[in-house]
Structures are given as structure tokens and as C-alpha cells.
């Protein structure tokens, strides 16, 4: 869904949102201000707020470089991505910071609700495989897991694991698009990156290589496994016929996601 328009004038970017309703501009501004204070250089510099034709506008500095989502990441890029995430997760989380959009406290309920909606699997290349994965996802989602439904290790979160939101300038990774910014859980955010379709479907990110660069404890690895199952289930639903992901991705992507999810669910 289109939520904003960008206007670039030299080193200044104006981001005009279509409405005030979802508080994207507020989230973006809060994220840019917080990172400018505690992790300067990791995100665009906040320059000001405005309105245009009744719509909110956030004005920020331009970040040099190109997004990572175009090709498999090199070792240097994985190093830089890991460093950027460590800096982000080290930012102090204000007590009044609201949870990110689609955060851990609501994600399982939403995915469970979407997963049980009827879906015509006939357009799939392998409807049997997809159906089996969908049934397994529904069963796992119905079980519930308190460790995945709350914030255990609070972090400031970009709120979107899309690699296109990571800008690489040849040496450093920076983060952009903070319209879903907020409080979240550490392992939920790591799972959002490694399970995102932008990295996994095209095999652009070696998940194990990134995880090796993040200092997770044993209990965090356990919760990460559950959060990966949750977000892999989300992406299976998004890739079902009738949903936007089915038409936007190459044929066979739904089956690829089904096999991946089944592997995660089978991993004891």
C-alpha cells in the first residue's frame, strides 16, 4: 500500500505521508530524533516537520548509498549490517515509546486470524505442499507461545526487516524508513530481518552468517526460533493466491516458502 511520497532536493529529503491516521509521520520523527541522539549517523538526520495540503511531512537529510536488496550480500555487507543492527539495538528505549507496528504483542493473533481465512490454492504449482504447510502453520499458531507474544528484551525497532531499508555506501550500512518505528523485542526484530521475503526468497542474505555477528544468548536463540516460525508463517500467508505477495513474486515462491516453513517447524 502506498503510504508516502519522496521529494529529494540535494541533501534534503521531504517525505509526505498520505494521512495522519496511522501515525507514520510521528513514528518516523520519533525514530529519527532518538537515533540522532543515541546513534548519530545510523539514520537520516531529522531536519524538521511540516504539512502539505493537509498531509504530514517529515524533512530529513539524505543518506548516501544504495539499498542492499538488489543482490546477495557480500561478507563486508553482512559485517556492516550486523554492526548497524547492534547499534540500533543498543539505543535506550524510552518508557513511553509505543510498540512498533505489527509488534510481537499482536503479531501471532493477526497471523493466526489471516491464516484461517479460506484460500483457493488451485493457482499454486504444488497445492498439496502449500496446503500441508498452511495446516501446520495453523496448528502451530493455535498452540500459543507466551515467549513470542510479549517484549522480553526491549529494543528500539525500525519495524520493517526489508533489506531495501538498509543503505550501503561501500563501507557502512544505514537505516531508512522509520514509519513503523517503536518498541519491540530483540529476537522478533532479528527474525524480521532473516525471514523477510526481500532477503530469503532471493537468497540475498545468509541468515546464519548474520546471526553469527549478533551476540544472542541461549534463551534468545530459543525465542528467535519461535519468532522465525511466526514470521515465516506470516510470509506464507502473504504469498497465498489472492494476496499481493503471490502476484508480486516469481512463480514457485509460495512453494519455496512452504518448504522453508515446514523445515522450521520440523526443527526440534
> Predicted confidence band at 267 (pLDDT cuts at 50, 70, 90)?
confident
Mean pLDDT of the chain: 95
Q: Give 135-170 pLDDT, tens digit per residue.
A: 999 999 998 777 788 899 999 999 999 999 999 999
Q: What is the pLDDT of residue 259?
A: 98
| Cell numbers that stand for 131 in this block | 496446503
Q: What is the average per-residue pLDDT within 216-243?
A: 96
- DSSP output for 100-160: PTT-HHHHHHHHHHHHTS----TTSS-HHHHHHHHHHHHHHHHH--GGGSS-SSEEEE-S-
Question: Contacts by 241-250 with C-beta closer than 8 Å and gap 24+?
Answer: 241/119, 241/120, 241/121, 241/122, 241/123, 241/124, 242/119, 242/120, 245/197, 246/123, 249/197, 249/201
Residue 3 clears pLDDT 80, i.e. is over it: no
Query: Which whole number is the average pLDDT over 11-37?
Result: 92
**What per-residue confidence (pLDDT) applies to 2?**
57
pLDDT by residue (tens digit) across 176-220?
999 999 999 999 999 999 999 999 999 999 999 999 999 999 999
Categorize the per-residue pLDDT at 268 as very low, low, confident or very high, splitting at 50, 70 and 90.
low
Class at the top of the CATH hierarchy for domain 4-61: alpha beta
Give the position of cell 540500533: 88
In this predicted structure, the answer to whether residue 131 has a pLDDT above a threshold of 90 is: yes
Residue 60 has pLDDT above 80, yes or no: yes
Q: What is the CATH number of domain 66-266?
A: 3.90.1200.10
Highest mean pLDDT among 3-12, 62-71, 137-146: 62-71
pLDDT of residue 22: 80
DSSP string, 62-101: PPPSEESTTSPPPHHHHHHHHHHHHHHHTS---TTPPBPT
In this prediction, residues 125-129 reach a mean pLDDT of 98
Amino acid at each position: 500500500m502506498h503510504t508516502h511520497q519522496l521529494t529529494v532536493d540535494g541533501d534534503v529529503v521531504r517525505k509526505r505521508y498520505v494521512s495522519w491516521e496511522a501515525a507514520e509521520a510521528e513514528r518516523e520523527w520519533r525514530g529519527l530524533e532518538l537515533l540522532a541522539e543515541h546513534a548519530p549517523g545510523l539514520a537520516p538526520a531529522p531536519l524538521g516537520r511540516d504539512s502539505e495540503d493537509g498531509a504530514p511531512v517529515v524533512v530529513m537529510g539524505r543518506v548516501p548509498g544504495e539499498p542492499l536488496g538488489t543482490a546477495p550480500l557480500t561478507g563486508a555487507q553482512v559485517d556492516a549490517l550486523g554492526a548497524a543492527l547492534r547499534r540500533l539495538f543498543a539505543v535506550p528505549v524510552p518508557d513511553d515509546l509505543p510498540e512498533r507496528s505489527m509488534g510481537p504483542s499482536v503479531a501471532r493473533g493477526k497471523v493466526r486470524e489471516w491464516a484461517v481465512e479460506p484460500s483457493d490454492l488451485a493457482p499454486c504449482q504444488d497445492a498439496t505442499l502449500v496446503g500441508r504447510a498452511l495446516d501446520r502453520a495453523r496448528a502451530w499458531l493455535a498452540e500459543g507461545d507466551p515467549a513470542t507474544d510479549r517484549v522480553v528484551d526491549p529494543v528500539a525497532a525500525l519495524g520493517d526487516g526489508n533489506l531495501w531499508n538498509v543503505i550501503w555506501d561501500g563501507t557502512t550500512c544505514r537505516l531508512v524508513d522509520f514509519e513503523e518505528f517503536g518498541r519491540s523485542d530483540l529476537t522478533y526484530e532479528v527474525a524480521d530481518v532473516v525471514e523477510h521475503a526481500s532477503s530469503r526468497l532471493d537468497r540475498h542474505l545468509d541468515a546464519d552468517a548474520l546471526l553469527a555477528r549478533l551476540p544472542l544468548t541461549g534463551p534468545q536463540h530459543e525465542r528467535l526460533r519461535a519468532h522465525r516460525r511466526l514470521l515465516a508463517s506470516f510470509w506464507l500467508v502473504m504469498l497465498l493466491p489472492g494476496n499481493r505477495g503471490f502476484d508480486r513474486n516469481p512463480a514457485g515462491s509460495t512453494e519455496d516458502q512452504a518448504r522453508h516453513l515446514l523445515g522450521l517447524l520440523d526443527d526440534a
